[in-house]
Amino acid sequence: MTNRPSVPETDSESPDFVIESEYGRILLKSNCKASFFDNLEMDDGLGHFSHYSSIIKKIDSFNKYAEREDGRVTLAVRDPNVVVGYCIGSYPEPNDRWTLLGKLMYELAALELSRNFRGLNLAYRLLNSTMNDDFFEDKIAYMCGYSWHWDLEGKNLTAGQYRNMMKQLYGKLGFREVYTNEPNIALRPENIMMIRVGSRVSAEDNLRFRHLRFGIKPK
């Protein structure tokens, strides 16, 4: 039996790193391209949301994001081919308020871990792999946390506790909470918008973003 991971190991498709865990070998791979998704399966611990339908229902859904301009898909795959977690990034959806700032804004649109693979620090590793790129120094990366997306039952947490967990997780990568009157965020106080402002983002762009957060459109 070979020790090589079954996930393709060409330069462009080799994993960022490998985690040996009690659940077996887990491979993390950022910037996955469409060809990477062939023959993968979703772990049955993904997609448990009582109050919402995940944007990722099956493997094919990853293609949609990978094929977008600057779209990013980072996967955690249990050897040989079971997706146990993912992080997805892309420019905002066309109807989002943030598109008014063009390509300045970049959304970390989804981060999910299988219920069967928690406690391995995979969420941080997925995020870190996704964000570990100079690309983000020109962007305001953001995440929107909505309590109805959170697996509160699986984590046995209140919405406030889950919010705290999100703050700590994203905070490790330089994100901080900001306020906005964007209706979905403003709907519940536990909801959270967090941003990381890239080192090359100008003060003027920062100010435009601040105003847009409160509904004042950029001139």
Distance CA 25, CA 16 (A): 13
Counting contacts by CB under 8 A, is residue 179 touching other proteins? Answer: yes
With vertex at residue 32, the alpha carbon angle to CA 27 and CA 37, rounded to the nearest 5 degrees, is 80
Residues 6 or more apart whose CB falls under 8 angstroms from that of 120 comprise 19, 21, 23, 26
Counting contacts by CB under 8 A, is residue 214 touching other proteins? Answer: yes
User: 192-197 and 72-78 as β-strands: parallel, antiparallel, unpaired?
Assistant: unpaired
Q: 147, 166, 175, 196: which one contacts other proteins (CB under 8 A)?
A: 147
Q: Which stretch binds other proteins (CB under 8 A): 18-26, 58-66, 73-81, 162-170?
A: 162-170
Distance CA 152, CA 67 (A): 31
Tokens 């994001």, located at residue: 65
User: From the CB of 147, what's the least distance to other proteins, in Å?
Assistant: 6
User: From the CB of 154, what's the least distance to other proteins, in Å?
Assistant: 14
Q: 39, 44, 216, 217: which one contacts other proteins (CB under 8 A)?
A: 216
DSSP state, residue 12? T
Pick the closest to residue 182 from 97, 92, 101 (CA basis).
97
Counting contacts by CB under 8 A, is residue 155 touching other proteins? Answer: no
User: From the CB of 61, what's the least distance to other proteins, in Å?
Assistant: 24
Nearer Cβ to other proteins, position 51 or 200? 51
Q: Which two tokens stand for residue 119?
A: 């406690």
Q: 118, 174, 190, 198: which one contacts other proteins (CB under 8 A)?
A: 190
Q: 48, 155, 211, 217: which one contacts other proteins (CB under 8 A)?
A: 211
Question: What stretch of H or E contains 177?
Answer: strand 176-178
The site for other proteins (CB under 8 A) is made up of 51, 147-148, 152, 158-161, 163-164, 167, 176-179, 188-190, 210-211, 213-214, 216
